[in-house]
Structure 1
Amino acid sequence: MKNKPIYKILFLASLVGFTLQSCAQNKEDKKIDINQMEKDIVQKEFGYNFRLEYDHNNCSYEILINDVPLITFYGLGERSTTASINQYLLKPGKQEITIRMSPKKIEDTQFNKNLDSTSFVKLKLKKLKNGSPEWNLSNINRDWEEVFVYQTPKLEKDVPFAEFKIPFEATKDELTWEIKGWSESQTLVNNEALKKEVFDFYTNFQKTIEDQNKNAYINLLAHSIFEEASADSWDSKAFIKEGMEQMYNAPMPKQKFLFPINEDTAELKFYGDGKVVTLVSKDPRSFGYSPLVAKAEKNNFPIAYTFYLHKPKGSNKLEIIR
């Protein structure tokens, strides 16, 4: 099922963090002003693209960048893949990758009881300098530079959970952008009121898809797209323009949602030092993923719609941040 790469369903493979995202709003919602977004965005001549490669053995796992999930895997089998992490690097300085390991899924609704000595996650962080189109064309065959390789240490005994943190530094020359992300967001209180807000958000998202309400859909995505464009600082203006145009021109997917959203099958999960919240499924069939699972009309492959919510400083409304 999901995470950062099931997510790009609509337009750009780096929309990650999250799969598709949205919520119901008034059908008369105004279009986002793309020209104004282009004016507001800051573009630099150069910057680095950071890429994380990862694989694992005999475990389920989460990989978080600065305490927000990049990838979640609770599926069958093994996998290895690559993801850009720029939009999780909010400003230059110390960054932190967290690996959380839990027992492997062995059947559709069953997990092992423990991790063992064969369980591991392996990471490889790479970076590549990017710049103007002319600069890129003259450096087509340039190589990615390896920042580090890390493999979780061998577990000495069987355990139900293991966590490891890997800090690294990103300089001002590498991170030529700075984005707010969740850095100034409110600390969320885990209570019944917040639970209702989050469940309502997910229910409204489902309704937005079912109603084919494109304006509401785009409005909810716009800020995340803006921040992701900012994190590709050497290509920000083209990113925001092309991305938003594709959003407007592409048809909304017609989906059939497979599971009901309620407190019996889903629960809140917090990230971003308590400033970010999401819903995860308790259903053994989709455990650990978003409870919003759907199939397209012409595609039998299920999609888990995943997003991470916050309340910006000075606001009391949940919004998508990744």
Structure 2
Amino acid sequence: MRYIFLFCIVVYFSIQSCAQNKEDKKIDIEQMEKDIVQKEFGYDFHIKYDHQNCSYEILINDVPLITFHGLGERATGATINQYLLKPGKQEITIRLYPKKIEDTKSKENLDSTSFVKIQLTKSKRPMSMSEEYNLNSKGIQTKFDVLTYQTPKLEKEVPFAEFKIPFEATKNELTWEIKGWSESQTLVNNETLKKEVFDFYTNFQKTIEDQNKNAYINLLTHSIFEEASSFSWRSKSLFEGAMEDMYKQPMPKQKFLFPINEDTAELKFYGDGKVVTLVSKDPRSFGYSPLVAKAEKNNFPIAYTFYLHKPKGSNKLEIIR
């Protein structure tokens, strides 16, 4: 399932929104289409990453871009615009964990061969592939290196290592501002919050199982709006196209594989304590979302990953990424 433009599934949820009918939702979307800001140009920030002999997390401004607790090594990349809330100082965090060696077993420690390497670039937009090719063929640069970083060699075996890498994004490059988690409440790790988070996941699962499309659209709309806003040179078309696809495409029919309970999942906090998610303690899906499902006609499992916050002035958990 992939209704949005980026690497992961993100959703938006509130108790009130599930009660909205389609007519109410259409009015909200039309208002969002009026509110979304589009600029003449901006930059696409893209990160490539690869690793050796480790599991890892890469966070942008303290919210995860990628979490990997799988077997083997891989190299891939992702756009990070939606994690850059406003111009100025940004921060990448790399966290290393011991490598997985079997489906349910990991090494005890990292060692001197463990590392993650990243390369961050920026490309000016809007620009078609043919325009980019023509400019490059004339020796005109369209993609620029921001930074390249490889985690330093570990001098001794350790169970965990963390590294922070700052960089700047100017107003000319980052031509959008999105609220994200910047004004969210600081969350208190207690039994009340734990129940709210587990209830959120249970309600999301029920929405999929009941094939409640109106509620499902409400789950996704706000996140799509913010992500579209971060592609400021085409934000209007991205948002309108994504919402049109949401209404046209059928909901996924999924079979959920594992129960969600306190024995198999735990809270994990990000965003300077303003963002929370659930991660699995089950060795079969350790480190990922506990909400894992398979589609009717596809045996490849999907982990529904989302990051929750409480907006300023609200006491309800909502998805922020």
- Quick check: TM above 0.5? yes
CA distance in 1, matches of 2:118, 2:21: 46
Is the contact between residue 66 and residue 89 of structure 1 (CA under 8 Å) also seen in structure 2? yes
SS at 2:175 equivalent = coil
Identify unmatched segments of 5+ residues in structure 2.
Answer: 137-141
Between the aligned partners of 2:29 and 2:207, the Cα distance in structure 1 is 22
Counterpart of 1:168 in structure 2 is: 167
Matched, 1:139 2:124: no
How far the C-alpha of 1:253 sits from its partner, in A, is 0.4
Query: Quick one: distance in 2 between partners of 1:290 and 1:78?
Result: 21
The 1-side partners of 2:129 and 2:153 are apart by 43
Confirm or deny: 8 A CA contact 2:10 2:223 kept in the other structure: no
Task: Extract structure 1 runs of 4+ deviating beyond 4 A.
Answer: none
Q: Structure 1 unaligned segments of length 5 or more: list them.
A: 1-8
Report if aligned partners of 1:22, 1:205 keep a CA contact under 8 Å in 2: no
SS in 2 for 1:140: helix
Does the residue aligned with 1:39 lie in a helix, a strand or coil?
helix
Deviation at 1:222, TM superposition (A): 1.0
Contact map agreement 1:182 1:275 (CA 8 A) in 2: yes
Check conservation: 1:64, 1:71, Cα contact below 8 A: yes
1:121 equivalent among 116, 120, 134: 116
- CA drift of 1:27 comes to 7.2
- Give the alignment's TM-score, normalised by structure 1: 0.93
Q: What is the number of residues matched between the two proteins?
A: 309
**AA of the residue aligned to 1:200:** D
Distance 1:300 1:54 in 2: 27
Distance 1:258 1:47, change over 3 A: same
Q: What secondary structure does 2:241 align onto?
A: helix
1:107 match: 102
SS in structure 1 at match of 2:165 = strand
Structure 1 residue 281, shift from structure 2 partner? 0.1
1:259 corresponds to: 258
Q: Tell me how far 1:34 sits from its aligned partner.
A: 2.7
* Cα RMSD (Å): 1.4
1:13 aligns with 2:8: no
Distance 1:195 1:207, change over 3 A: same
Structure 1 position 221, deviation (Å) = 1.2
Counterparts in 2 of 1:143-292, with a 5 A limit? 143-292=142-291
TM-score under structure 2 normalisation?
0.93
Partner of 2:25: 31
1:73-92, Cα deviation, whole Å (9 max, x unpaired): 00111111110000000000
**What is the rounded CA distance, in whole Å, between the counterparts of 2:317 and 2:93 in structure 1?**
25
Q: What's the CA shift for 1:35?
A: 2.4
